[in-house]
Structure 1
Amino acid sequence: MEIFELHRGSAPLLISLPHDGTHVPDDIAARLTDGARRVPDTDWHVSRLYAFARELGASILAPRHSRYVIDLNRPPDDTSLYPGQNTTGLCPVAQFTGDPVYLPEQEPSAEEVARRVEVYWRPYHAALREEIARIRAVHGRAVLWEGHSIRGKLPFLFEGRLPGFNLGTAGGTSCRPELQQRLEAVLAAQDVDDAVVNGRFKGGYITRQYHDVGNGVQAVQLELAQRNYMDEDSFEYLPERAVRVQAVIRELLLATLA
């Protein structure tokens, strides 16, 4: 099985969907709890949500494998992105609920984690770097857009109800102020759900690692609350809800390309 799928577009925009994959190899799946085999912490259906972006000329990069195999949005040394807060790791052993991913005494060893970094993590990040470089060479600039989604209520990770749209720019460092202002204006004008900028989700490893604003490479993360486009319990995609979310995403991407 291929590690990822890359669609190369014609615009100065790369959409990365690092938690879109659902596949777990049999040897790993056999060691997971029954609940974890459903891969509940997937960023469900984000490829479907962003499929229209091909019409805008965007490149799209998405992995095949689940974040339970390896989390592509974590640093390879597994340094915490949110010190002092509950989170999950490079090869997660806890679900977003706090429940275990693995059966007792079946968690991956340090050697196995290192192997997964080589097999899954490095190829995805090499593709990221190469596509950003290609886009910048063609257009003189590039925007990396990180597309994510998550359940709207997860007490293990955050208090209360998550806003519908969570824009992250690493505290304003991963893109130019003008771009952030355009995106904030789009979020202020939409009526689907509430929005926040640089709240609980400020941008993960990819957003923080790959921006180079001074050389024309900007990065933005959008974390969506899944309630607005799917059933959070059954994981069913709900097109009548999703179309409204897609309209907001379209306006955000158009503002990015402006």
Structure 2
Amino acid sequence: MTPYRFVPGTIPLLVSMPHVGTGLPDGLADRLAPAARDLPDTDWHVDALYDFLGGLGASVIVATRSRYLVDLNRPADDASLYPGQTTTGLFPDTTFAGGPVWAKPVTEAERSAFRADIWQPYHDRIAAELARLRDRFGHALLWDAHSIAPVLPRLFDGRLPDLNLGSNGGLSCPPSVARAVLAAAGDDHTAVLDGRFKGGHITRQYGRPAERVLALQLELSQATHLAEGPPPRLDPAKAGALRPVLRRMIETFLSAAADHFATLPPAAPLPESPR
């Protein structure tokens, strides 16, 4: 199994879905702890929610492997993204709810292989595609698409807003652009900018406004699109109401970014993918 599916596009936008994957190498599923066997921390059906991207002409990269092997939205050195707050690392050993991931833990050799064979190719593709888009259009945009349960006491207090937009406090995307995208969410869903989720490693690594690359993360509450109760199923009515909102936000990202870059000087060369 390849670590991702990729479709190149024809507009200056790449959409990344790093936590959709459910694939596990032979023998690994049997080593999961009971709390993790159903892969509860997967971003269930996020790829189906964004099924309009092909019509827009966006580039799309979708992970195929489970985040329990290696988390594509964490830095390779496993530095904490939210110091002082509970989170999960590059090689998760605890579920979001607090249960163990592995009954028989993965070895250091396996972790090294996951980083080399899953994490690195995904990031190499992101870096290459953003460079291609920027070379062609003069700027590039990255939208990192996620979802999470609306209530997770171990990670945050209370109930999460429906739409959680992250710009790393304005460092990965100019505040004017991020605010325009937030406003495009409309009034039918609760929405926040740079709340509990400000953007993970992908947003922070590749969002470089000075180099004409902008990045936003959208963390969706799964209450916006999943049916009640297990197994995780897409609710057609909820999804039907959400898709136009997502499309409007992405279209606003494209237009607001184009306006932002219209009067700026040409970009400097992009850095290579981290290793």
Alignment of 1:69-88 (within 5 A): 69-88=69-88
2:192 corresponds to:
196
**SS of residue paired to 1:16:** strand
Alignment of 1:25-64 (within 5 A): 25-64=25-64
| CA displacement 1:28-74 (0-9 Å, x = unmatched) | 11110133121110011111011101111111001110101110000
Are residues 232 and 130 of structure 1, via their aligned partners in 2, closer, same or farther at CA, if it must alter by over 3 Å? Answer: farther
Shift of residue 184, structure 1, vs aligned partner: 2.2
CA contact (8 A) 1:190 1:248 kept: no
The alignment of Structure 1 onto Structure 2 pairs a total of residues equal to 254
Counterpart CA distance in 2 for 1:233 and 1:43 is: 15
| CA displacement 1:1-52 (0-9 Å, x = unmatched) | 1111101110100000000101112221111013312111001111101110
2:266 corresponds to:
none
Are residues 39 and 232 of structure 1, via their aligned partners in 2, closer, same or farther at CA, if it must alter by over 3 Å? Answer: farther
1:231 corresponds to:
227
- Does residue 1:257 correspond to 2:251, yes or no? no
Shift of residue 112, structure 1, vs aligned partner: 2.3
**SS of residue paired to 1:5:** strand
- Structure 2: 5+ residue stretches without partners: 256-275
2:269 corresponds to:
none
CA contact (8 A) 1:226 1:232 kept: no
- Structure 1: 5+ residue stretches without partners: none
Residue from 105, 126, 133 that aligns with 1:107: 105
Counterpart CA distance in 2 for 1:20 and 1:163 is: 21
The TM-score, its normalising length taken from structure 1, stands at: 0.96
Paired AA for residue 200 in structure 2: G
Counterpart CA distance in 1 for 2:182 and 2:233 is: 29
Residue from 129, 132, 156 that aligns with 2:130: 132
Alignment of 1:117-156 (within 5 A): 117-156=115-154
Counterpart CA distance in 1 for 2:27 and 2:58 is: 35
Shift of residue 232, structure 1, vs aligned partner: 5.5
The TM-score, its normalising length taken from structure 2, stands at: 0.90
CA contact (8 A) 2:69 2:111 kept: no
